Structure formats: structure tokens, C-alpha cells
Structure 1
């Protein structure tokens, strides 16, 4: 394709002239940009093009308009400051990039640059850019990786990043569900970095939650709080696993874990899952199915005291049973070990007959269901038929011996 040979100044004058003729009619702007792409070299002058569409002219370093350049009054920064207008502008960019696919990368780089220039813009200009960015993120025109620019030290220090993020996330959440947004953030590793929108001395879950909840973004506050909890759990799981690998005494691990559980406000059900994962991750398992069962029994037997310390509630026992089921299913060489692990933990007073019967009856998950139920069949029959006061022990922590069909009434099985 042959383009008219223009330098940046001539290119800018041509775009400005077209925008002035189109005025505030964004349909006309979109048509002009579509047609002009066949005459002007958008690939070479992409940055100039986007500067004009956003700010009205070429931007100097820092975000100020170049004084000696032609500019237009018909651009994003001079438009009305409302969501509907920003959605219309987003469509202009969307149509332009769909028509000229090679502009995609340049457009994303432009947004990154504009975010770094935020201090050079007025509050109104920032608000418009924030709304537009949220809509573009929702439409998939740009990647959430552009948020990296908001972690600029000066922007964070002066509170510009957090204020900008409020309007950005409001427009994004207006278009998409928080779970979709979480997925976009997770995809580029931004899901655990939102706290960095604030200076180090304000980087806490409490401050983040209050700031965004007060701004009408409770969904974002809840998401960040959940991410903080997940992060705390991962760190705790890693530390417990390291303690096990070192061979620290169980009493020390129990004391440490109970203290951390209290600090992080974790439930016993969450804690037993962490301990199980730590225990199974602290050893290198034999790959041979016939040997791994014996290895697992020997390994778990030494941690029965630790497991027992966090199964004082029926729901904790069920959580542990489900973790065992999922682990044995996900690690195929453990498929035949399930029943032996459950029996071991029953004998060690970690799992009660009530929990096992409840799991067998209706609390199991689909993973490996038929295989594991078949493995447990004879043991469950034995539990059901055992004479009270003989082989089966009375679980001193309970006042009941069977699970009711409906709601669990034992104090041990209440949430």
C-alpha cells in the first residue's frame, strides 16, 4: 500500500483537520479514521494518532501538549465526563483497531504511557481516561498488564494511582462481573498486587478495604481480602511443610500452627486442609503403586497427633476426608491407598466413625467416587454392624453415634 509521505507534523495536521471537520459526531470520526488509514501511515505514526485522539495533539514528556503543534478541540479529554460518552469513544478505538489490527500493540503501549503521564493531566482528564481504560479492559481491547504503570512510585506516593483505580474499576465492573475481572488480573499476575496502589505505610487489607468500600467498590474490597487470605494460607502451608521436612517436633508445629491460625482468622476446616497439603508435600513419594501405600501409612502415622489437633469438629473431619479423596484421585499411584489411609486415621482417633459414615453416605465428591466407595464398602459395613462397647470406640468428643439424614445436630458438625 502506498502512503502519502508526511512527517509527524504533516500527519498531525491531516488528522486534526479531519477531526475538526467531523466535530463531536463520533460516527463521523470513526468513518474518517477508517478511510484515512488507507492514505496515511498509521503504522509509523501510531503514537501521534493516539495522542491526538486522546489529548487533542502530540504530547510532550510528562503529558503536556506541545505548544508549537496544531491541536483539535474534539478529543477524549474535551468530551463530556460521563460513562456513556466514554463508551462511545471506546467504540471509536475498537473500530479503528479492528480495521487496522497492527495498531493493537501500539494502542496498548499508548495506554501504558498515558497512565505514566497522569500527573500532567487535570482531574477531569484522569477521570475520563480511567473510565475509558476500564471499558477497554472489559472489551478485551487491552491487557490488564497496563496496570503496571499505576505502580509508578510517584503516582502511588501522591495518591494518583488509587484515585485513578477507583474510576477504572467502576467502569470495568459496570461492564463485567468481578469474577471475570479477577480472571483477567490473575492471567497477568496482577491479582496479588492491588495493595501496591498505596504507599508502603498504607499497604494493609484494612486500609484497602475501607478506601474502595467507601468509594462504592465493595466487590473489589472483598476480592482483595480474599486474595490476602489465599496468600496467607499459601505462606502458612509453605512454612508448615518446611517444618515437617526439617523434622521439627509435632508439639512445636501444633503450637506454631494454632498461633498462625488465630492471627489469620482461619477456620479449623481451612487449617486441616493446609496441614494435609503440607504433610503430603514434605516427602518425595515412591512412584510404584505397590510401595507408595506402605510409605504413606508410615509417613502419616507419625503426624497423627498433628492431624488430630485440628479435627475437633465434624466438619474438619469431613474436610480432611475430602482432601484425602481428591489427593488419591489426582495422584493416580495413590488410588489403592485411600482405604488404608482412612483406616489408619480412624485407628489414630483422627477420624470418627460418624464422619466416615457421613462421607460414605452423601458427603463424598465425584472424583474417584466408584473406586473409593468400593474400597470402603467392607469397612463401612463393619462400622455399621460393630457392637457398641466392643471393637468400635465411643468417640468421646460426640454425644451421637449416627448422622441424621438431614441437618447435622451434633455440636461437632455445626458451622
Structure 2
């Protein structure tokens, strides 16, 4: 027997199994399109079903790698060939932006779906955000599209806040903060900006730091101001409810002062809130000859509440201005102004110094000539009384 080792035969062209770590996935946008289009066509036209399909598919398909293809599909129905035309040799979906109904509600739904996708890269999201900001600034789309940013997952992952930074920067650069404020108010979203952050970070302080650090101090100032307005509205509502219940003035005053301390509200701001609450609490007579009598009776009752928040001269001036504006804006009160001022002077809510300063320099334009004429005789009386008081003091010395 020979000790020579016999060689085993080999097959020509034999393939050796490649280790998984050495395998590289082939970039195949065509196969990606076929998978997405097939899934879209099976879901029908229901946007919620489409969103669920895309969200579920994101775990299996590489949205980041095929972001451009995915965008083409959702906007135009399929991959775009060079020159911007659709490829004829590929299956298309009827579920896309270009085949949707031409109305704002439908467009907002599509925008929400697009923004719902987390598969785009940061750079792609930034570009979309900047474009959206420009379109908003020029009035091409409604600010209600921003509802998409309040998606729970986007907020939780920080996508919403980051997207908002680029969007608002673009918007303000194109226009200004007034454009942003006006558009947000129009769709009732001026008080929702804090919702761009998760509940545990949803504070004015966090919002202010985040957007100020990002170079958007004007937006953080706007949000802080809106938050303050919201707090004042809540306080006014609470005051009116306390009055309706017939709570004692001492309890109302104590509660209001606690809110002032808690929310850093000045006395000047508070007297404005109290005045509005007091005047909103009652249903006024429509007859001019009867409303003055009704107002005097009402304000005499509530003068202790007004007095509690006019310990400073600036607060008295602000109250006078609020009274002037109210009497001008509510035409039945045009002839009531002077009598209300006299009542509050006698009730020690308003001082002669504050009334004289309002008369000479602190009044506003609304109904100025009418109200100054009404106050002329009373102001002369105050000046004479002041001069007599000074003379008496000099004689006493």
C-alpha cells in the first residue's frame, strides 16, 4: 500500500461561502420602490393606514439610504428619471401628492404624513424645514401645517424642536417675528409652542434657553409673552368665577396676591386684570341713560377690590387708562367716564395726583377730547383744592 496522500478532486468554478461581515448590501432603489409602491397600493387611500404601513416598513427598509426615492414616491408617485419625468418602466402608485385633491385640508394631511417620517437624514430634514419656513413666510401654506410637529414620537426624539429651529429661522429671515406671531394666532397655535418639547421639558425656561441658544431670541420672547398672556387669562377667569360665587373680597384679594407672587405679575398688570374682570362680570344695560347709574352702583360695590391693587401711582394711572379705553370701546359708557372717576376718587381708589397726571400727560388717544372735556371742571376743582391745601399748610408753618 502506498503511503502517498490522495488529493480530493475539486470542481471548476467552485464558490466559497462569504462570511456575513464581508457582505455588502447592494444599493437598489428600484427594488425599494417596488416594495413601497406595492405596500401603498394595498393600503388604499386612507392616510392613517398609509402612515402605519410606512412606520412599520421603516423597521425593515433603510429609509435613510433611500430617502430620495421615498420622497419621489410620496410626492410624484414613483422615481423620477433625469429631467424630472416619471420612469415609465416602473410600477407607480396613485397614492401621492400629485394625484391628491387640490384643497388645503388634503395638503395639510400629506404634509403631516411627510413630516411624520423619521427616515430622512438631518440634512434632508433641515432643507425641508427651511423650505417650509419660506413658504409660510410668503403665505403659500397655512401655519396649521405645524400641527405635524406635535407628533408624540417626533417630539420625544427631539426632531420637532430641531426642525422648528430651522423653520422659524428661515421664516423670520424671510419676513419677521410679527409675521410668525400673526400666522400662529390665526390658526390658534400661538400658545402651543412649548409642546415642541416632551412634558418633562415643557417650561418657559427650557424653551427660552433652547431657542435663544439657537439664535432665535425673538421667538423665545414671543413664547414667554404668550405664556404670560395665557396666565393672565386664566387669572381673569378665576377672578370672575370667584365673584360669581360671591366669595369674600379678602379671599379674592389673597388669592390674587398669591398668583402675583407665583407668576411674577406686577401690580400694574393685576389692576388691569381686576378692572376687566369686574366690568366683564355684569350684563350692562343698553340704554345710555341707565348704564351710568348701573355702573356707579356696581363699581361702588367693587371699589375695595380695585383699591387693593392701586397702592402705586403707576397702578392708578394704568387704571385710568383702562377706564378711558373701556368707555371709548363701549359707546354706551361715553358719558359715564367722569362720574366713574369721581366715584373712585371718593372711594380712595384714585388720588388727585394720579388724576391730574392722567389729565395733563398720561391719557391715551381714544376719546381724548370727549373725556378731557368731561373732566375739565373736576380737574379745576382738584387744582383749587390742592392750592388751598398748600396755602393752609404755609399758614400753619
TM range (shorter): 0.7 to 0.9
Structure 2: distance between partners of 1:298 and 1:181: 44
TM-score, scaled relative to structure 2: 0.73
Deviation at 1:113, TM superposition (A): 2.5
Find the counterpart in structure 1 of residue 210 from structure 2.
Answer: 211
Find the counterpart in structure 2 of residue 113 from structure 1.
Answer: 113
SS of 1:351's equivalent in the other structure is coil
Query: Does the 8 Å CA contact 1:64/1:121 hold for their aligned counterparts?
Result: no
Deviation at 1:130, TM superposition (A): 0.8
Structure 2: distance between partners of 1:355 and 1:103: 57
Distance 1:391-1:309 versus aligned 2 partners, 3 A rule: farther
Distance 1:201-1:175 versus aligned 2 partners, 3 A rule: same
SS of 2:135's equivalent in the other structure is helix
Find the counterpart in structure 1 of residue 9 from structure 2.
Answer: none
Find the counterpart in structure 2 of residue 21 from structure 1.
Answer: none
Residues 195-252 of structure 1, C-alpha deviations (whole Å, 9 max, x = no match):
1111112111111111111111111111100000000011101111111122211111
1:361 equivalent to 2:360? Answer yes
Structure 2: distance between partners of 1:251 and 1:376: 32
Query: Does the 8 Å CA contact 1:57/1:72 hold for their aligned counterparts?
Result: no
Q: Which has the larger radius of gyration?
A: 2
Distance 1:379-1:391 versus aligned 2 partners, 3 A rule: farther
Residues 156-204 of structure 1, C-alpha deviations (whole Å, 9 max, x = no match):
1111111111111111111111011100111111111111111112111
1:246 equivalent to 2:253? Answer no
Structure 2: distance between partners of 1:243 and 1:208: 33
1:126 equivalent to 2:125? Answer yes
Within 5 Å, which residues of 2 pair with 1:25-36? none
Distance 1:165-1:261 versus aligned 2 partners, 3 A rule: same
Residues 80-109 of structure 1, C-alpha deviations (whole Å, 9 max, x = no match):
xxxxxxxxxxxxxxxxx9xxx958776555
Deviation at 1:283, TM superposition (A): 1.1
Structure 2: distance between partners of 1:165 and 1:126: 10
TM-score, scaled relative to structure 1: 0.70
Within 5 Å, which residues of 2 pair with 1:171-250? 171-250=170-249
Residues 282-330 of structure 1, C-alpha deviations (whole Å, 9 max, x = no match):
1111112111111111111122111111111111111000110111111
Find the counterpart in structure 2 of residue 166 from structure 1.
Answer: 165
Query: Does the 8 Å CA contact 2:69/2:79 hold for their aligned counterparts?
Result: yes
Residues 95-142 of structure 1, C-alpha deviations (whole Å, 9 max, x = no match):
xx9xxx95877655543331122x121111111111111111112111
Structure 1: distance between partners of 2:153 and 2:191: 21
Distance 1:126-1:73 versus aligned 2 partners, 3 A rule: farther
Structure 2: distance between partners of 1:185 and 1:200: 21
Query: Does the 8 Å CA contact 2:67/2:120 hold for their aligned counterparts?
Result: no
Residues 15-63 of structure 1, C-alpha deviations (whole Å, 9 max, x = no match):
xxxxxxxxxxxxxxxxxxxxxxxxxxxxxxxxxxxxxxx96445599x7
Find the counterpart in structure 1 of residue 372 from structure 2.
Answer: 373
Structure 2: distance between partners of 1:103 and 1:198: 30
Find the counterpart in structure 2 of residue 308 from structure 1.
Answer: 307
Query: Does the 8 Å CA contact 1:212/1:221 hold for their aligned counterparts?
Result: yes
Find the counterpart in structure 2 of residue 153 from structure 1.
Answer: 152
Structure 2: distance between partners of 1:65 and 1:116: 18
Within 5 Å, which residues of 2 pair with 1:322-337? 322-337=321-336
SS of 1:303's equivalent in the other structure is helix
Query: Does the 8 Å CA contact 1:383/1:392 hold for their aligned counterparts?
Result: no
Residues 340-360 of structure 1, C-alpha deviations (whole Å, 9 max, x = no match):
100011011111111111111
Runs (4+) of structure 1 exceeding 2 A deviation are: 54-61, 63-66, 69-75, 101-113, 387-394
Structure 1 residues not aligned, in runs of 5+: 1-8, 13-53, 76-96, 395-415
Deviation at 1:393, TM superposition (A): 12
Pairs aligned (count): 317
Query: Does the 8 Å CA contact 1:195/1:205 hold for their aligned counterparts?
Result: yes
SS of 1:366's equivalent in the other structure is coil
Structure 2 residues not aligned, in runs of 5+: 1-29, 34-65, 85-97
Within 5 Å, which residues of 2 pair with 1:48-63? 56-57=68-69, 59=71
Find the counterpart in structure 2 of residue 285 from structure 1.
Answer: 284
Structure 2: distance between partners of 1:242 and 1:107: 42
Distance 1:169-1:151 versus aligned 2 partners, 3 A rule: same
